Amino acid sequence: MTGKAKQVRVMLVEDSPTVRTLLCHIVDQDPRLALAAVCASAEEALQSIETVAPDVISMDIRLPGMDGIEATRRIMTDHPTPIVVVADSVHDVALSIAMNALKAGALSVVEKPTGLGAASYGAIADTIATQLFIMSQVPVIRQRMNLTAKAPTRPRGNDDRADAALRIIGIAASTGGPPALASVLGALPKTFPIPLLVVQHMGASFMEGFAHWLDGQTELKVEIAKQGDTPQPGYAYVAPGDRHLTLDAQGRMRVGAEAPIASQRPAATLLFQSLAKNVGPKAAGVVLTGMGEDGARGLLEMKTAGGYTIAEDASTAVVFGMPAVAAKLGAARAILPLDQIGARLLHLVEEAHA
Amino acid sequence: MADIRDQLLAAFSLEHREHQTAIREAFARARGGEAIDVREVFRRAHSLKGAARAVDLPAVEAIAHSLETLFAPALEAGVQFSGAEIGQALTKLDEIERAVNPPKPETQAPGQDAKPAADATAFLRVDAERVAQLSATVHELSAEIDANAHMAETSAALARESQALSRAIEQALQNPQRAAQALTGLAAQARTLARSAALAARGQAERSWSAERLSAQLREDLARIAMVSADTVFSGMGPMLRDMAQEQGLTAELNVSGLTTEADRALLQSLRDPVIQLLRNALAHGAEAAGERKRHGKPEALQVSLALSARAGRLELRVADDGRGPDWRKIESTARARGLIGRNEAEETSSDDALASLVFEPGFSTAEHVESIAGRGMGLSVVAEAVRRAGGAVHMRQGRPHGTEFVISTPLTAARQSIVLLQDAGARFGLPAYAVERVLDIKPAALGLVGGRQTLSVSQDGNQIIIPVIPLSRVTGTKSAVRADASGEEKVAVAVLRQGETRLGLMADAAEDVREATLVNFEAGHVAPINLAATQLEDGESAPVLDPEIVFQRFLRHDLDLSTDRAQIPVAARARKHVILVVDDSVTTRTLEKSILEAQGYRVILAVDGLDALEALKRDGAEIDLIVADVEMPRLDGFGLLESLKRDASLARLPVIMMTSRAEQADIERGLGLGADAYLVKQSFDQRELLTTIRQLL
């Protein structure tokens, strides 16, 4: 086959021999991927990562000896490589570990594969292979989360005042979203008076667990958004898996199954558009790290409608995709490094209520 | 796609087994009061869940998930599992076991070979360290072979030196005047030559010894790779026993120990059915009425135990119950009734030991009526046969304090073992090669004396170490011709036994080469523990093989007084020679084959053609172990003979080697198709090939 793109080299880290066999099969069957190494433990992976230098790592979360989180942290520090976490999607102890691995720098999480005979096999296998392929393209940088004081970069866009008292904030993220959201929401006290609506691109089966995990990362209460509810202060609402989240003219949340926008459902652009239309200048929108361009158009509409808009700066974004497009469209009134976004939101609220 | 499914199922089967064993063992330790790694147990349940999901076993996945939920609180709180949690977990593990290995219905008649589970044979988990060990041995052996190549050069050099000396002598002879002068030079040359030759000889001997040792080591390493832990074959016995008991309206509990014991996989597989039969037997003959049990202070359920252990190259399985024990009077009367004890022994009552061996005779059963599981009288004899085929023995004895105990003892690996043979006082004794570090030829004068004990100084890895030496006769109880303090020039052999860092030298008259031999058990009767086994030698003689562990134990404990247990020298007459029927119409061929076989210690019966062979079989069929038959014969040729044999149930299993002067493919296929075990061509007749084939078939 001529003109074949170079295959993406995958390192599998999985302690169950059975699941290993299946994952190897899934990688083998996908022409985009090639098996570079198979490790039964985190220790093995760390030992061989220098020599193998894979393009992407599939990491089981429960490993003998060192667990997946510590392994992720070490890899992101010593030999940063895109990591895709393989986890059970059932809401349980294992899942918060998966989310914590995302916080430690893993890029995305996929469901453990079912057997060949299961109806869902094809879909799940495809998701795994595709995630591995996509994430392998993400240029990862050395983990900065653990570093302490670093010089704050000058925020571009000096605009630090909202036009009106804020009523609602919309936040969108994709690849690298979970730790970023944890960082932003984590900066907000439980007395924060403005409810937040969150769109995080992630496998539908993980959303409940994700919301539960995020709840543990912030003083705010985090829930899955429910159709018809009115957002309350002190809360953040996460769009449920595979559903669009919008705010209607009555200020109530709407959860819908309309067609995906640019293959995304939930789509951040749809959320932002509804905020622009129904709330106008009393809304703020934030686009964090993520691949693709979801949210950029919607953010622009929000800005045009008088709302306050923020995009994450390239210096902190794991993937400077969505925020980059937003910036290019001129949709953001402020482009800020991650650690300043929460502070900016607080500032806006204080200013407005002063 | 089918291939990957098989792979997944095979991988799952192994993984499931591993997790079950590991978790159960952890619980056993926890119940014993030890602190265990809770996180690891949780991880295993989690892995099992993922694995079950990967092979489409949603039922198992669900139970594994409930296990995770059960384990989570202890994990999160950072404490050990409670007794209740362990109990619940074990129940769930049993459920998973049943879901993965549904119990098979009892359709097999006793005596039928059970087919091993298909998934168990597909994959073999091999210890990475063993592969490394194998690799290391292979490297050593290659180095040895390379060193051997060097010997050729040395020999060539020797040849050159000899020729030079020869020429020099010739020259000297031609000049008698100069002869006297030349003589000194010639003497020097001769001395050099002698030295070189001696060096070469020694080097060659060393190389030879090393190569033998390494290739034996290689075989051992290879055998070890095929070794698996017993739990891969003997898991699930507990539920099986409980189910069998339930069918009978009884209650029984099984205690298993030693599941981590490792042995050759095929061997373990071959012992699985015998063990199951012994369990059935325990139920059938050991079960007692509840009141009876209470009176003796026994727990309500029949306690059955299965213990596996490995020692000194032997595998031992014990199946014991705490039931009523062997009914010796009943066994004796049944034996008499079946003619197993002669009428003329009516006066003496046979010893329990002798009676114990009778229960293994085919057709022996003391059961009143034929029950569904035991009692047909086939069970124990089948056990004995299976164990015998594995080169081992099974004994029954009274359990202590009550009940019955069966002990199966077999060599750990089905492979032949390497034996070092020592000659002493006209007899031969074997030592398992794995325990012998080296064998030295020394003059008695080389022995030193330290603290009143004889010692030998040897160099090991560049250091000099002192090894205590005792005469082999002290161990075997025989009179040795070698006196320990002989100062003569007669060399003696010292075999250095090694156990860990402890070494002991056994001094004997001479040592023979290391050889491969099959270890067999002694025939029934009291066998001193120091006798590991016996081995059959080529000339039909048997030599006792000593147990190095016992030697060390005694040496370390009694410190030289080993006279408490003498090694038993088996009576030569008991060693049974194999009988081979040679069928050929050519008197020359018959004579040739007969002499070859008899030289190897076989007994030979001759027949001139197929019909004659059938006559011989009618007469001596019970004795004959193997047939070597020509193809082209009058009246009834080789193929005809084969057909007749296979039609007769009593003869069908006799191994047959076809010898033919026609090497045509069609003939070979026909012969093998009819059931010949081997096909040898006369033209390329190589007696080694015939002998090797015979050895393989017997």
Are B275 and B359 in a shared domain? yes
Give the residue ranges of DSSP H helices in B359-422: 379-389
Task: Give pLDDT, residue B327.
Answer: 83
Task: Give pLDDT, residue B372.
Answer: 45
B416-419: which pairs have CB atoms within 8 A and are 24 or more residues apart? B416/B516, B416/B517, B416/B518, B417/B313, B417/B516, B417/B517, B417/B518, B417/B519, B418/B216, B418/B219, B418/B220, B418/B514, B418/B515, B418/B516, B418/B517, B419/B514, B419/B515, B419/B516, B419/B517, B419/B519, B419/B535, B419/B545
Among residues B461, B416, B462, B423, which one has the least CA distance to residue B439?
Answer: B423
The CATH number of the domain covering residues in A168-353: 3.40.50.180
Structure-block tokens of residue B515: 């050889």
pLDDT 10s digits, A39-48: 999 999 999 9
Task: Give pLDDT, residue B480.
Answer: 52
Task: Give yes or no for a contact between B19 and B47, defined as CB atoms under 8 angstroms apart.
Answer: yes
Lowest-pLDDT range, A96-110, B330-344, B523-537? B523-537
Are B312 and B391 in a shared domain? yes
Find the mean pLDDT for residues B244-251. Answer: 82
| Residues listed for chain A | 354
CATH code: domain of residue B16: 1.20.120.160
DSSP string, B611-656: HHHHHHHHHHTTT--EEEEESS-SSS-HHHHHHHHHHSTTTTTS-E
Q: Which residue range forms the structural domain that includes residue B588? A: 579-697
Sorted by sequence, the CB contacts under 8 Å of residue B449 that are 6+ apart come out as: B455
Is the pLDDT higher at B556 or at B258? B258
CB contact under 8 A, B7 and A21: yes
Q: List chain A residues with CB under 8 Å of B51.
A: 16-19
CA distance A1 to A169: 51
The yes-or-no answer on residue A294 being catalytic is yes
CA B54 to chain A, closest CA, distance in angstroms equals 4
Which DSSP helix (H) or strand (E) runs through B432?
Answer: strand B427-432
DSSP 3-state assignment of B261?
coil
Q: Is pLDDT of B579 > 80?
A: yes
Is the pLDDT higher at B528 or at A84? A84
Task: Give pLDDT, residue B374.
Answer: 47
Are B53 and B181 in a shared domain? no
Are B557 and B583 in a shared domain? no
Ranked by mean pLDDT, the top range of A276-285, B13-22, B61-70 is A276-285
**Does residue B122 form part of some domain?**
no
B260 HSE (CA, 13 A, CB side): 5
Lowest-pLDDT range, A231-235, B247-251, B463-467, B549-553? B549-553
Q: Percent of chain B having pLDDT more than 90?
A: 5
Task: Give pLDDT, residue B303.
Answer: 87
CA distance B46 to A63: 10
CA distance A156 to A143: 23
Q: Is pLDDT of B692 > 50?
A: yes
Task: Give pLDDT, residue B205.
Answer: 82
Domain edge (last residue) among B225, B243, B276: B225
CB contact under 8 A, B54 and A112: yes
The yes-or-no answer on residue A48 being catalytic is no
Cα angle B196, B200, B205 (rounded to 5 degrees) comes to 150
Residue A124 pLDDT grade (very low, low, confident, very high; cuts 50, 70, 90): confident
pLDDT 10s digits, A163-217: 778 999 999 999 889 999 999 999 999 999 999 999 999 988 888 888 988 998 9
Under DSSP, the state recorded for B374 is S
Structure-block tokens of residue A103: 């916080």
Residue to test with chain B: of A12, A13, A15, A19, most B Cβ within 10 A: A19
The CATH number of the domain covering residues in A8-136: 3.40.50.2300
Find the mean pLDDT for residues B494-503. Answer: 80
Is the pLDDT higher at B451 or at A78? A78
DSSP 3-state assignment of A1?
coil
Q: Beta strand pairing status for B531-536 and B542-546?
A: antiparallel
Residues 71-90 of A with CB under 8 A from B: 88, 90
Task: Give pLDDT, residue A67.
Answer: 84
- The number of folded domains in chain B is 5
Structure-block tokens of residue B24: 């159960």
Are B365 and B296 in a shared domain? yes
pLDDT 10s digits, B411-432: 776 555 678 888 887 788 888 8
Task: Give pLDDT, residue B107.
Answer: 45
Task: Give yes or no for a contact between A82 and A135, defined as CB atoms under 8 angstroms apart.
Answer: yes
Structure-block tokens of residue B46: 């989690």
**Does residue B112 form part of some domain?**
no
Instruction: Please identify which of the residues A30, A55, A60, A294 carries the catalytic annotation.
Output: A294
Task: Give pLDDT, residue A182.
Answer: 93
Structure-block tokens of residue B86: 């362990």
Cα angle B518, B519, B521 (rounded to 5 degrees) comes to 140
Among residues B132, B291, B54, which one has the least CA distance to residue A20?
Answer: B54
Find the mean pLDDT for residues B156-168. Answer: 88
Q: Is pLDDT of A254 > 90?
A: yes
- For helices B379-389 and B265-286, give the axis angle rounded to 10 degrees: 160
pLDDT 10s digits, B227-240: 778 887 887 788 88
**Does residue B40 form part of some domain?**
yes
Write the residue in A18, A25, A90 that is nearest to B55 by C-beta.
A18
Task: Give pLDDT, residue B542.
Answer: 74
CB contact under 8 A, A21 and B4: yes
Task: Give pLDDT, residue B273.
Answer: 85
Q: Which residue of B has its CA nearest to A16?
A: B47
Find the mean pLDDT for residues B169-183. Answer: 80
Structure-block tokens of residue A267: 């789509």
Task: Give yes or no for a contact between B583 and B609, defined as CB atoms under 8 angstroms apart.
Answer: yes
Q: Is pLDDT of B564 > 50?
A: no
Instruction: Please identify which of the residues A201, A205, A212, A274 carries the catalytic annotation.
Output: A201
Domain boundaries, chain A: 8-136, 168-353
**Does residue B495 form part of some domain?**
yes
Write the residue in A18, A88, A94 that is nearest to B51 by C-beta.
A18
CA A146 to chain B, closest CA, distance in angstroms equals 25
| Residues listed for chain B | 698
Find the mean pLDDT for residues B446-467. Answer: 79
Q: Beta strand pairing status for B519-520 and B531-536?
A: antiparallel
CA distance B106 to B126: 33
Among residues A229, A300, A224, A292, which one has the least CA distance to residue A263?
Answer: A292
pLDDT 10s digits, B297-332: 888 888 899 999 887 677 889 999 988 888 888 888
Are B253 and B368 in a shared domain? yes
**Does residue B117 form part of some domain?**
no
Which DSSP helix (H) or strand (E) runs through B420?
Answer: strand B417-424
Find the mean pLDDT for residues B259-279. Answer: 85
Residue A218 pLDDT grade (very low, low, confident, very high; cuts 50, 70, 90): very high
Residues of B with CB under 8 A from a CB of A: 1, 4-5, 7-8, 11-12, 14-15, 40, 42-43, 46-51, 53-57, 65, 68-69, 72, 75-76
Residue A54 pLDDT grade (very low, low, confident, very high; cuts 50, 70, 90): very high
* Residue A39 CA from chain centroid, whole number: 27
Mean pLDDT of chain B: 78
Are B219 and B242 in a shared domain? no
Task: Give yes or no for a contact between B521 and B409, defined as CB atoms under 8 angstroms apart.
Answer: yes
- Put residue A65 in one of left, alpha, beta given phi > 0 → left and psi -120 to 50 → alpha: left
The yes-or-no answer on residue A347 being catalytic is no
Task: Give pLDDT, residue B574.
Answer: 35
- Put residue B500 in one of left, alpha, beta given phi > 0 → left and psi -120 to 50 → alpha: left
Q: Is pLDDT of B44 > 60?
A: yes
Among residues B604, B583, B606, B589, which one has the least CA distance to residue B687?
Answer: B589
Task: Give pLDDT, residue B223.
Answer: 74
Task: Give pLDDT, residue A296.
Answer: 95
Task: Give pLDDT, residue B341.
Answer: 66
pLDDT 10s digits, A296-339: 999 999 999 999 999 999 888 888 999 999 999 999 999 999 99
Q: Indicate if A168-353 has the same CATH topology as A8-136.
A: yes
Q: Is pLDDT of B557 > 70?
A: no
Residue B359 pLDDT grade (very low, low, confident, very high; cuts 50, 70, 90): confident
Max intra-chain CA distance, chain A: 67
Residue to test with chain B: of A14, A15, A18, most B Cβ within 10 A: A18
Q: Which residue of B has its CA nearest to A120?
A: B56
Structure-block tokens of residue B648: 């007769």
CB contact under 8 A, B76 and A93: yes
Give the residue ranges of DSSP H helices in chain A: 17-29, 42-52, 68-78, 93-103, 121-136, 177-186, 207-215, 268-278, 296-304, 322-328, 338-353
Ranked by mean pLDDT, the top range of A11-20, B185-194, B456-465 is A11-20
Q: List chain B residues with CB under 8 Å of A25.
A: 4, 8
Instruction: Please identify which of the residues A96, A108, A136, A174 carries the catalytic annotation.
Output: A174
Task: Please state, as a whole number, how many other Cβ atoms lie within 10 Å of the Cβ of residue B595.
Answer: 12
Are B159 and B294 in a shared domain? no
Q: Beta strand pairing status for A108-111 and A253-256?
A: unpaired
Task: Give yes or no for a contact between A294 and A201, defined as CB atoms under 8 angstroms apart.
Answer: yes
Q: Is pLDDT of B559 > 60?
A: no
Structure-block tokens of residue B354: 């002798």
Q: Is pLDDT of B109 > 60?
A: no
Give the residue ranges of DSSP H helices in B378-471: 379-389
Q: List chain A residues with CB under 8 Å of B65.
A: 90
Q: Is pLDDT of A143 > 80?
A: no
* Residue B114 CA from chain centroid, whole number: 21
Are B236 and B285 in a shared domain? yes
Are B471 and B538 in a shared domain? yes
CB contact under 8 A, A17 and B65: no
Are B632 and B492 in a shared domain? no
Q: Is pLDDT of A242 > 80?
A: yes
Lowest-pLDDT range, A205-214, A216-225, B515-524? B515-524
Are B566 and B424 in a shared domain? yes
Q: Percent of chain B having pLDDT more than 70?
A: 80
